Amino acid sequence: MTGGSGIAAPAGKPGVTCMIMAFNEEASLEAAFAEVHAGLAGTGRRFEILIVDDGSKDATGRIADALAARHARPGADVRAIHHGENRGPGSAIVTGVAEAREPLYCFHPADNQVEFADVVRALDLLDERFDLLVGQRSDRHDYSLARRVASYGYIGLARALFGLSGFRDFNFIYLWRTDVVKPLLPLETRGVFLCTEILVRARDGGARIGVAPAAYRPRTAGVSTVGRPRVVLDTFGQMMRFWARRATRGLTRQV
């Protein structure tokens, strides 16, 4: 059986959409794409790669277009999608879900801070046991003290508010079945928090949730935006508003 990538898929193995999120990542996008493309091609599955340029000001968009043109196959297994303007952290994930054509979905940051081989290994867990997998990052050894405090504070508060004590990390990388998450669109939140919203709502809807190891790599080029004070404050604000709406809906159902 073949799919949009023109690659025969192993019997019973569903295809996968991988979204590469990129904002001003001209120095690392090509390497990230090469790692993702090689990893997915090695599985023998149908696949498509969506490169989502979140309003970059550098050459990221042009590189994305060139990669899509260079690796085009019948059915367009590589697509470049441009937001036109910067929509902020997490926005590319939503765009990718909306555009996904394959049954399984994963994403990869263009800063290449995830070992994509870990994602490839986790695909079989989606085939066999789970609807959604939460990546557990190996460490945060290059984080500043302020970013460590924000990261662990976020995780601790979210665990308490949403009953996520079974997860030591849920703000790194995810894989899921497209038909589980696409119906959740449009999401109630934006930015860094939106993956936690997806986790909570999928769990509440009965999805089978698992965890998978994911090695963290330090950034070698570009500048991260997720640790900026404005982004951190917005993330905590999104969390509290989601919690308040969810609590209100719970009270309403009880009346």
Instruction: Note the pTM of the prediction, 2 decimals.
Output: 0.87
> Which parts of 84-213 fold into alpha helices (H)?
91-99, 116-128, 145-162, 178-181, 194-204
Taking the C-alpha atoms of residue 98 and residue 108, their distance in angstroms, rounded to an integer, is 16
> Can you say whether the dihedral through the CA atoms of 25, 115, 11, 131 is positive or negative?
negative
User: Which domains can be identified in the chain, with CATH numbers?
Assistant: 16-254 (3.90.550.10)
Helix (H) or strand (E) holding 34: helix 29-41
pLDDT tens track, the chain, 255 positions:
344 444 444 556 899 999 999 999 999 999 999 999 999 999 989 999 999 999 999 999 999 999 999 997 764 489 999 999 999 989 999 999 999 999 999 999 999 888 999 999 999 999 889 999 998 875 556 667 787 888 889 999 999 999 998 888 887 789 999 999 999 999 999 999 999 999 999 999 999 999 988 887 766 665 566 667 888 999 999 999 999 999 998 755 443
Q: What pLDDT is recorded for position 143? A: 66
Taking the C-alpha atoms of residue 48 and residue 52, their distance in angstroms, rounded to an integer, is 13
> Could you read off the pLDDT of 7-26 as tens digits, one per residue?
444 556 899 999 999 999 99
